[in-house]
Structure 1
C-alpha cells in the first residue's frame, strides 16, 4: 500500500444489514475506503480481482466454502492481501484456525467500533492484530501446553464438526457448504474416527466443552 493512500477495504459477511453498518462506520473514517462487499467466500474471490482491496474484513460463518477456506484461498491467490476476521466466535480455537489459514488479525463482533478501525490500520501497515482478551487466553493455553481435541481436524472437517454440533443434518450441511451428502458423510466418518465420537450427540458435547457452541 502506498504511503498516504486510503486503505481499500472489502467487507465479506452474509448479512446485508451487518455489511451496511460496517460500511457506514468506515465511510466516516477519512483514511479508509470501502471498495467492495461480498456475501460469501465465492463472491469474495470474484470481487477481489476487480476491487483490489488492501484489507478484507471477513466473517467466518457463511454459506458456501466458509470463512476459513476463503482465507486460505484468498491469501494463496493474493499474497499481499491482509485479512481481518470479524466474528461472533469468542473461543480460542477459531482465532487459532483463522491465523493458521492466513488471517492477519481477529476481532469479535462485540468489539468497539474504534477497535475495528485501529485493527484495519494495524494490519494494513503489515502488523498483526488480535483482540486483547483473546490474545491473553491463547497465550495462557500455550503456556500450559493445553491442546484441544478438535485441533486434529482439517479446516473442512472443523466446519462440518461445528455444523453437526449445532444439530444440522448431513443433507442440510451439504446444501450450505455446497458439497455432496456423500462428501459430508465422509467428513463425518473421519471426524468420528479422529475424535472417538460415536454419534452426533457426542460431537455436540465435545463442541460444548470446547466453548464452540452455546449451551
Structure 2
C-alpha cells in the first residue's frame, strides 16, 4: 500500500481549514494530521508532527505567513510549505517564493488545483497557480519590476504591517524585534519605494495589492 502524504493546515479561519480538510479527505493518499490557526502555532507543531507538506495562509494575525515561513525554514530547511492565499498579486507570490515556499496556490483555484499542488510540492517541484504563473511570465517579458519586489521578506512584512495601520511598537512586539530595528527597516522601506509619508505608504500598498482599498 502506498504511503500517505501527511499534511498540516495553517489558517486563522476555522471554516477555511474545514473546507480544505474536506477536499483533502476525498483523496485516499492524503492525510491531514494537524491544524494551526497561526504561524506561531505552526512553528511549534511542525517539530511534533513532521508533516510531508504544510499548507499555509499568508494573512494571519501575529507574525503572519511570510515571517512564519522564514523562521520555519531557518530551523527546518527541508520543510515543504505550500502557500494557499487569497492574494492574486505578484508581490505576495514573489515574496513567498523568495522566503522558500515550494508553491503558491490561490484560493479561487483551490478546488481545481489543491491535489495537483500538493503532489507537485511533495515531489520536490514548485507549483504556481496558472494566473500567478502567467503574471510572472508577463512581468519577466516586460521587465517592469515594481520596486516592492526588491524588498526583503522582512521589509515586505513590515511594509504590510505599516500599511495595515500598526505602529512601530506593535510591529516590534508582533515580530519579536526591537522598536529601533523596526524604525530602521521603515527608513529603508521608504527609501526603496521612494515614499515619504504614511498616506503615501498606504496608497502604494493599495496600488500593488498588499492591502485592499
TM-score, normalization by structure 2: 0.90
Q: How many residues align?
A: 213
State the distance in 2 between where 1:150 and 1:133 align. Answer: 20
- Aligned to 1:81, what secondary structure does the other structure show? coil
Structure 1: any 5+ residue segments left out of the alignment? none
Q: Is residue 149 of structure 1 aligned with residue 147 of structure 2?
A: yes
| Structure 1 counterpart of 2:132 | 134
| Structure 2 counterpart of 1:14 | 12
| Structure 2 counterpart of 1:60 | 58
Task: Using the TM superposition, name which of 6-15 and 73-82 deviates more.
Answer: 73-82
| Structure 2 counterpart of 1:104 | 102
State the distance in 1 between where 2:59 and 2:172 align. Answer: 15
Alpha carbon RMSD of aligned pairs, Å? 2.0
State the distance in 1 between where 2:93 and 2:154 align. Answer: 16
Matches within 5 A, 1:19-30: 19-30=17-28
Residues 55 and 81 in structure 2, CA contact (< 8 A), matched pair in contact too? yes
Residues 64 and 178 in structure 1, CA contact (< 8 A), matched pair in contact too? no
- Deviation sequence 1:115-155 (CA, Å, 0-9, x none): 11221111112221100011001111011111111123221
Q: Is residue 210 of structure 1 aligned with residue 203 of structure 2?
A: no
| Structure 1 counterpart of 2:192 | 194
Structure 2: any 5+ residue segments left out of the alignment? none
- 1:202 shift after superposition: 0.7
Residues 88 and 177 of structure 1: is their aligned pair in 2 closer, same or farther, counting only changes over 3 Å?
A: farther
TM-score, normalization by structure 1: 0.89
- 1:158 shift after superposition: 0.8
- Deviation sequence 1:169-206 (CA, Å, 0-9, x none): 33443454444544433322222232221111111122
| Structure 2 counterpart of 1:116 | 114
Q: 1:85 aligns with which of 70, 83, 86?
A: 83
State the distance in 2 between where 1:126 and 1:171 align. Answer: 39
Residues 66 and 153 in structure 2, CA contact (< 8 A), matched pair in contact too? yes
| Structure 2 counterpart of 1:38 | 36
Residues 7 and 33 in structure 2, CA contact (< 8 A), matched pair in contact too? yes
Q: 1:185 aligns with which of 183, 186, 190?
A: 183
State the distance in 1 between where 2:110 and 2:86 align. Answer: 13
Task: Using the TM superposition, name which of 202-211 and 91-100 deviates more.
Answer: 202-211
Q: Is residue 70 of structure 1 aligned with residue 83 of structure 2?
A: no
Q: Is residue 164 of structure 1 aligned with residue 167 of structure 2?
A: no
Residues 58 and 65 in structure 2, CA contact (< 8 A), matched pair in contact too? yes
State the distance in 2 between where 1:53 and 1:74 align. Answer: 13
